[in-house]
């Protein structure tokens, strides 16, 4: 027996059996795709904001550390000067 030609002809995906534009399954798939893209994009933005915040905090800590190192270097220099002055005073007293 031969099948009728109506059964072999495929309907376009954008029309369902009743002739309506998109089938229910396709709508569900499109909404799922939209939700996935929205969720992924939002996740990327939130992660990016978190990374930027953490970088700013690390930069602040590094800046504080650099200021501390500079102050220690200046204090060491002052101590050397004071030691030289003490040595000069001790030599003057001898």
Residue 26: how many CB atoms within 10 A of its CB?
13
Q: pLDDT band at 12, cuts 50/70/90?
A: low
Among 3-7, 21-25, 90-94, which stretch is predicted with the lowest mean pLDDT?
A: 3-7
Model confidence pLDDT, tens digit, residues 43-58: 999 999 999 999 999 9
The model scores a pTM over 0.85 = no
State yes or no: pLDDT of 1 exceeds 50. no
State yes or no: pLDDT of 23 exceeds 50. yes
More confidently predicted of 44 and 9: 44
d(CA 26, CA 30): 6
Residues 15/18/24/30 CA torsion (nearest 10 deg): 20
State yes or no: pLDDT of 88 exceeds 50. yes
Report CA-CA distances (Å) from 76 to 79, 83, 87, 90.
5, 10, 16, 21
Q: pLDDT band at 24, cuts 50/70/90?
A: confident
């Amino acid at each position: 027996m031969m099948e009728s030609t109506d059964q072999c002809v495929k309907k376009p995906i954008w029309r369902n059996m009743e002739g309506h534009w998109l089938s229910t399954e396709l709508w569900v798939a499109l909404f799922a795709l939209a939700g996935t893209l929205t969720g992924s994009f939002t996740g990327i933005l939130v992660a990016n904001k978190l990374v930027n915040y953490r970088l700013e905090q690390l930069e602040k800590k590094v800046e504080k550390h650099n200021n501390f190192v500079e102050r220690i270097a200046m204090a060491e220099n002052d101590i050397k000067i004071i030691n030289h002055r003490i040595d000069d005073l001790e030599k003057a007293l001898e």
